[in-house]
Structure 1
Amino acid sequence: MTDRRVVVLVVPTAGTWAPPGRDPEAWRLAMAEDTYEVLAALDRVDVAVAVAGGDEAALSEVGALTWPGTPVYAVDAVRPVLGAVEGAGPAAAVVAVSYDVPDLPGLLIGKLFRALSNADVAVTPAEDGSLAAIGVRLPVAEWVSAAAPTFDTDLSALESLKPRRHAVAIGPGWHRLRSTADIARLDPGLEGWDATRSVLRHA
């Protein structure tokens, strides 16, 4: 039995939007880099990166944003969260985090790990109805495997599938950057999200 905890950044390879006048690739990588830095600063967790639908070139591109020794692996684009969990190796719990939360407070991830001592799944809901982070206790419960939640899964759908009252834990919410309107949620006064800030400054 292991008490290892792993947090995995999940990065897509396609379908990324960008603010007007910005390059979608530069924007995708900037958000991923900043989100990774948040996760890499966490205490007592291992960090990995999963690239959804990625080939060798995509893995290398994203891997260049990480610290040496960080595992970077490809996962199925259809089941990216469970793929991230499976690729993380032996662990007590794994939290998969969407790439588009460059200003996410690290303490929210800690809250998910704590919740997983009792819940099968713990989530950070995003304001648009999606999920910013999904924590999974291992071994993965059968109902979680069948549900195969992704960051686009509606929280109410996940709640409707839970087999017992406390199977799903809901942490404090946050915001994802999924449209131009979401940029207004970034706080210029907060430290961090430097790469994202740089892309916004330079059209």
Structure 2
Amino acid sequence: MTDRRVVVVVVPGVGTWAPPGRDPEAWRLALAEDTYEVLAALDRVEVAVAVAGDEGAVAEMSALTWPGTPTYAVDPARPVLDALSQAGSAAAVVAVSHDVPDLPGLLIGKLFRALAHADIAVTPAEDGTLAAIGVNVPVADWVAELAPTFDTPLAELEARKPRRHAVAIGPGWHRLRSNADIARLDPGLEGWDATRSILRHS
């Protein structure tokens, strides 16, 4: 039995939403870089990066990480469970969406603690999606069948859980997916440097 704890940043292979006047690709990479930096600063966890794209997208993301950080491609249809399967032997794995550059590391610690008793633990986002998904290893059958992604509604997890405490819900946070989300960033907070730089320059 291993006590390894792994956190994986899951990055889409192409740009999605971006603030007006900003390049979607540059925005995607800035968010992912800042989210990775938050997680790389955590104690007692190993950090990896999973990219839902081709090898070119993997190499592009690998250039933004510290040397030795595992970076690999995952199936866009099953990014969380595919990232988990490539994380190697671990007691628990937390997959984090790439668009939470100001995520407090404390929230990830809460997910790992919750996985001592739950099959899956999540950080809900304010827009109804999920900012982070922690999964206990070995993966419970119902979690493997559901194959949750960051777009899986919390209500669906609750409806599918086989017992009361199978799903643990941590404190919520926000993903950067709209102009309204940008307003939630705290300019006085240290970090999210790449995201801050893009927002400063049109």
- TM-score, length of structure 1 as denominator length: 0.99
Unpaired runs of at least 5, structure 1: none
- The question of 1:21 aligning with 2:21 is answered yes
What letter matches 2:38 in structure 1? V
Matched residue, 1:93: 92
State the secondary structure of the residue aligned to 1:174.
coil
Rounded Cα–Cα distance in structure 1 between residues aligned with 2:35 and 2:167: 24
Matched residue, 1:127: 126
Rounded Cα–Cα distance in structure 2 between residues aligned with 1:76 and 1:114: 28
Rounded Cα–Cα distance in structure 2 between residues aligned with 1:2 and 1:35: 26
Rounded Cα–Cα distance in structure 1 between residues aligned with 2:111 and 2:55: 31
State the secondary structure of the residue aligned to 1:181.
helix
Shift of residue 32 of structure 1?
Answer: 0.3
Unpaired runs of at least 5, structure 2: none
Identity %: 82
Contact 2:14 2:28 in 1 (8 A): no
Matched residue, 2:157: 158
Which ranges of 4 or more aligned residues in structure 1 deviate by more than 4 Å?
A: none
Rounded Cα–Cα distance in structure 2 between residues aligned with 1:62 and 1:179: 23
- The question of 1:75 aligning with 2:81 is answered no
Rounded Cα–Cα distance in structure 1 between residues aligned with 2:7 and 2:27: 22
Rounded Cα–Cα distance in structure 1 between residues aligned with 2:159 and 2:42: 32
- The question of 1:193 aligning with 2:192 is answered yes
Alignment RMSD (CA, Å): 0.6
Rounded Cα–Cα distance in structure 1 between residues aligned with 2:60 and 2:73: 12
- TM-score, length of structure 2 as denominator length: 0.99
What letter matches 1:10 in structure 2? V
State the secondary structure of the residue aligned to 1:185.
coil
Rounded Cα–Cα distance in structure 1 between residues aligned with 2:73 and 2:159: 30
Matched residue, 2:170: 171
State the secondary structure of the residue aligned to 2:133.
strand
Shift of residue 127 of structure 1?
Answer: 0.3
